Amino acid sequence: MTEQQKARRAEAARENGAKSRGPVSDIGKYISSLNSISTGEHLDLRKEELPECIALLSTDCRVAYLRLYQKHTRQFQPQSECQHTMLRHMCVELFQLERTISLETQFRQHGVDDTLRSYDGISDTELQMFSYERGLQKEKLWRSLQREKKAHQAAYTNYIKLYKLIQRDFPLVPAEPINQEPDANLLVDPLPPPEVVAEIIEHAERAKNEPSYELPHWVAEVLLNTELMAEIAPAYDLSELLEKLTAPLVPLAA
């Protein structure tokens, strides 16, 4: 090739490169879609404060749930956000199954304790027999607990099957980055919802206007927690009210 032919070919390559609209194959498009994530330019679009489903009650142990979630993550190793969603649902169902079993155990222990208070010096066999007899009076409760256990067991099994189908029929190459920060945030105690905050302020206002009004204990605890009040009601003036809270109360944890 002459120098003139080489120059024309190079110029044509530059022109064609300028007309490029990006990758064509599915894998190429997926890799290209990760650019904004790897650079962090649009990372705020992927941020979440809480996971897509929440299974915890205020009385539940968040640490126990997160341990269950971590065990499932190590066992199933989700490769995409879709698989991760299925894994969350699996954890929810298993956690609620364990909660139901714990409730059943507590109810049965309550029956044993009642029997011990009613009868002295009975054998373990008689204790179980009398406790079971008392439990029959709460037949609806036991049947309800059994239905819940079966429902959670079935749901957990179905989610595992669905997870395996997604993993087998829709593999992602390369694996999609997964954001686990929302699940880790469950370890932090949640703030009171707006309606509870409004109720607290309503009690506080009434206490300001009515000197004889006695604040509910739980409201007084929240009001005495200065760090919590600074988060949920930063503009609310507590100076006048705090002088009236003379009862010895233990503030809530921040």
Same domain membership, residue 221 and residue 204: yes
The number of C-alpha atoms within 13 Å of 226 and in the hemisphere containing its C-beta is 5
Same domain membership, residue 106 and residue 25: no
| 249: in domain | no
Q: What angle do CA 78, 83, 84 make, to 5 degrees?
A: 70
Same domain membership, residue 166 and residue 69: yes
Nearest to 179 by CA among 61, 55, 40: 40
The predicted pLDDT at position 32 comes to: 61
pLDDT band at 93 (very low <50, low <70, confident <90, very high): very high
3-class secondary-structure state, position 71: helix
The predicted pLDDT at position 45 comes to: 47
pTM across the whole model: 0.60
| 247: in domain | no
Same domain membership, residue 126 and residue 85: yes
Higher pLDDT, 194 or 244: 194
The predicted pLDDT at position 15 comes to: 77
The predicted pLDDT at position 249 comes to: 47
Same domain membership, residue 176 and residue 80: yes
Query: 215: which 2 tokens?
Result: 């604040």
Same domain membership, residue 9 and residue 71: no
Per-residue pLDDT, averaged over 67-80, amounts to 91
Say how far apart CA 145 and CA 228 lie, in whole Å: 37
pLDDT band at 81 (very low <50, low <70, confident <90, very high): confident
Q: What angle do CA 105, 106, 108 make, to 5 degrees?
A: 65
Judged against a pLDDT cut of 70, whether residue 40 lies above it is answered with no
Residues 203-238: tens digit of each pLDDT: 888 888 888 888 888 888 888 888 888 888 888 888
Say how far apart CA 190 and CA 58 lie, in whole Å: 9
Judged against a pLDDT cut of 80, whether residue 166 lies above it is answered with yes
Same domain membership, residue 166 and residue 120: yes
Same domain membership, residue 183 and residue 199: no
Same domain membership, residue 151 and residue 89: yes
Most confident of 74-83, 115-124, 173-182: 74-83
What range does the domain containing 13 cover? 3-46
Q: Say if residues 69 and 83 touch (Cβ distance below 8 Å).
A: no
Higher pLDDT, 111 or 24: 111
How many independent structural domains does the chain possess?
3
The predicted pLDDT at position 35 comes to: 56
3-class secondary-structure state, position 196: helix
| 11: in domain | yes
The number of C-alpha atoms within 13 Å of 228 and in the hemisphere containing its C-beta is 19
Same domain membership, residue 89 and residue 10: no
Q: What angle do CA 187, 189, 195 make, to 5 degrees?
A: 140
Same domain membership, residue 233 and residue 125: no
| 51: in domain | no
- Distance between start and end Cα atoms, the chain: 77
Same domain membership, residue 199 and residue 147: no
pLDDT band at 162 (very low <50, low <70, confident <90, very high): very high
Per-residue pLDDT, averaged over 144-151, amounts to 94
Say how far apart CA 42 and CA 30 lie, in whole Å: 16
